[in-house]
Amino acid sequence: MSKKELIVSAIENGTVIDHIASDKLFQVIKILNLENCSNQILFGTNLNSSKFGTKAIIKIQNKYFERYEINKIAIVAPTATLIKIANYEVIEKFNLNLPHEIEGIVKCFNPKCITNHEQVMQKFTVLDANQIKLQCHYCQKITKEETLNFL
């Protein structure tokens, strides 16, 4: 019998973001501003995944995310699973879903949109839960994954 071993060690308390697409790891780190986070962070990418072939994972000690941060993760890594850990036990586990509307996370790609010229809260309707298709509340143009920029 082979001994199973965790490649990325367990955390006592905090959050695990699992099933991130391998090539999205550093983007998730960036949008969550984890490079400026002083908590203990473990991460790995190009790990084997029975679901997706390969995956990335991030484990952050003593950190639970707010709704707006979870929405950010959902935009970059829609396949991710969020797991809350307390005393090494899973207390909550859920798949990410894009909300129907998002505010203040993404920039409208349209250079002629008023939101890129005035101080306005950027608002989008999520047209398709499975792909990034965000319709700007103001100019109606659709921001897609290729044109996505975070605020």
Partner 1 sequence: MKNKNLISITDFSKEEYLQVLSLAEEFEKNPVQKIAEGKVVASLFFEPSTRTRLSFESAANRLGAKIVGFADSASSSTSKGESLVDTIKTVCCYSDLIVMRHPLEGSARLASEVATVPVINAGDGANQHPTQCMLDLYSIKKTQGTLDNLHIALVGDLKYGRTVHSLVEAMCNFNTTFHLVSPVSLKLPSSVKMHIKERNLTYYQYTEIQDAIDKVDILYMTRVQRERFLDIQDYEKVKNSCILEKSLMDNVKKSMKILHPLPRVNEIHSNVDSTPQAYYFQQAQNGVYVRQALISLILGLK
Burial class of 110 by CB neighbour count within 10 A (0 to 12, 13 to 18, 19+) = middle
Q: Is 22 in the site for partner 1 (CB under 8 A)?
A: no
Among 44, 139, 147, 148, binds partner 1 (CB under 8 A): 139
Least CB distance to partner 1 at residue 141 (A) = 7
Tokens of 88: 């090494």
- Quick one: 36 or 119, whose CB is closer to partner 1? 119
CB 90 within 8 A of CB 49: no
Among 87, 119, 130, 149, binds partner 1 (CB under 8 A): 119
- Identify which of residues 90 and 114 has a Cβ nearer to partner 1 in the complex: 114
Q: Based on CB atoms, which residue is closest to partner 1, 4 or 112?
A: 112
**Looking up tokens 């959050």, which residue turns up?**
15
- What residue ranges bind partner 1 (CB under 8 A)? 110, 112-115, 117-120, 136-142
